[in-house]
């Protein structure tokens, strides 16, 4: 009898936790592929470590941050706080954080991790390739 009760409790806990996972909203996935040359004047801010810029391709709004000589962070600029109607985030004046102007949630510019909410998730990041010899940065999802 104890085994049945334990089994039922286990199934109940797993079902309840799965319901919470399904109810957690995520930002819609964006498919894109862009290539820039950071040596062009429009992308000058990316030629130095800790430089960043906003990249707006209409349907895709990104924050591109150069975290090391050969490393970049490509963040989705949409806040993770309200996925059905996300605000576009901006880098703070001290250039240490990314902030959602609607909810005042903050993430570290250096890695996109959440500092304070009400958002509950880190910023979305995207893949990239970088050729240091040519300055070609390709980012995609």
Rounded CA separation 48/16 (Å): 48
User: What DSSP assignment string belongs to 33-93?
Assistant: EEEEETTSGGGGGGGSTT-EEEEE-SS-EEEEEEEETTEEEEEE-B-SS-TTSPPBPEE-T
pTM of structure: 0.80
- pLDDT confidence of residue 1: 54
In a domain, 7, yes or no: no
CATH number of the domain within which 123 lies: 2.102.10.10
Number of domains in the chain: 1
Q: Judge contact between 89 and 128, C-beta under 8 A.
A: no
In a domain, 19, yes or no: no
In a domain, 10, yes or no: no
In a domain, 2, yes or no: no
Domain housing 108:
28-140
In a domain, 115, yes or no: yes
Question: Tens-digit pLDDT profile for the chain (141 aa)?
Answer: 555 444 444 444 444 444 334 335 588 888 999 999 999 999 999 999 999 999 998 889 999 999 999 999 999 999 999 888 889 999 999 999 999 999 999 999 999 999 998 999 999 999 999 999 999 999 999
In a domain, 62, yes or no: yes
């Amino acid at each position: 009898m104890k085994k049945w009760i334990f089994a039922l409790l286990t199934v109940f806990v797993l079902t309840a936790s799965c319901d919470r996972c399904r109810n957690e909203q995520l930002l819609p996935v964006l498919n894109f592929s862009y290539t820039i040359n950071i040596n062009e004047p429009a992308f000058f801010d990316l030629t130095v470590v800790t430089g960043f810029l906003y990249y707006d391709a209409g349907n895709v709004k990104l924050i591109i941050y150069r975290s090391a000589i050969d490393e970049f962070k490509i963040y989705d600029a949409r806040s993770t706080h309200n996925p059905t109607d996300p605000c576009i985030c901006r880098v703070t004046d001290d250039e240490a954080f990314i902030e959602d102007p609607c909810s005042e949630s903050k993430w570290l510019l250096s890695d996109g991790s959440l500092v304070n909410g009400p958002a509950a998730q880190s910023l979305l990041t995207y893949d990239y390739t970088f050729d240091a010899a040519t300055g070609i940065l390709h980012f995609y999802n």
